[in-house]
């Protein structure tokens, strides 16, 4: 959570981290934040099956990632990253992976659906903390590439 607050501050943004309650899933987070499920930013991490490198996909809470589209964007077949790799690379545990403040940078893609909102909510490093941000600011802050990778 401290790395998320630092990343926001370093970008000149306010610390909008709150603890609304259990937010491990998109459904829980939307209920806790009182917003639409698609306003929840899911941070989904895959690992390259050849390279082992992680790839981060930021998607709207109600969307599911298409493995074929994601693999095409990454340039190699992707599989789910295991919990140890996620923690070692991002510094966060699954269920609380923030889109910012990672220990190791990785390529990031963002779902166009998130841009339909003025504010979105993302995990802030724990399953109980989230932060709000304008989606275009999130895209800029993460250097994410806008792409179609959902089913």
Whether 18 maps to a domain, the answer reads yes
Task: Identify any residues that bridge with 133 across adjacent strands, giving them in sequence order.
Answer: 120
pLDDT tens digit sequence for 63-122: 999 999 999 999 999 998 999 999 999 999 888 999 999 999 999 999 999 999 999 999
Does position 150 have pLDDT exceeding 90, yes or no? yes
Is 142 a member of any domain? yes
> Does 95 map to a domain?
yes
pLDDT of residue 125: 92
Of 103, 76, 99, nearest to 87 (Cα)? 103
pLDDT at residue 15 is higher than 90: yes
> How many domains does the chain fold into?
1
Instruction: Evaluate whether residue 151 is within a structural domain.
Output: no
Boundaries of domain holding 14: 2-146
Q: Are 22 and 40 in contact (CB under 8 A)?
A: no
Q: Is residue 34 part of a domain?
A: yes
pTM for the model: 0.94
Q: Is 116 helix (H, G, I), strand (E, B) or coil?
A: helix
Residue 119, domain CATH: 3.90.960.10
> What is the distance between the alpha carbons of residues 31 and 94, in angstroms, rounded to a whole number?
19
Alpha helix segments (H runs only) across 11-129: 26-33, 67-74, 83-90
Q: Does a structural domain hold residue 124?
A: yes
Check pLDDT > 90 for residue 22: no
């Amino acid at each position: 959570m401290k790395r998320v607050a630092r990343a926001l501050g370093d970008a000149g943004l306010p610390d909008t981290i709150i603890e609304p309650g259990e937010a491990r899933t998109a459904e829980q987070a939307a209920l806790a934040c009182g917003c639409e499920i698609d306003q929840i930013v899911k941070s989904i991490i895959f690992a390259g099956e050849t390279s082992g490198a992680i790839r981060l996909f930021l998607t709207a809470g109600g969307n599911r990632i298409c493995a074929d589209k994601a693999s095409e964007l990454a340039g190699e077949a992707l599989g789910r990253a295991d919990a140890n790799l996620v923690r070692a690379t991002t510094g966060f545990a699954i269920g609380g992976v923030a889109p910012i403040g990672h220990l190791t940078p990785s390529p990031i893609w963002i779902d166009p659906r998130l841009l339909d909102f003025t504010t979105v909510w993302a995990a802030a490093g724990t399953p109980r903390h989230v932060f709000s941000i304008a989606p275009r600011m999130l895209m800029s802050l993460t250097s994410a590439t806008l792409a179609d990778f959902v089913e």
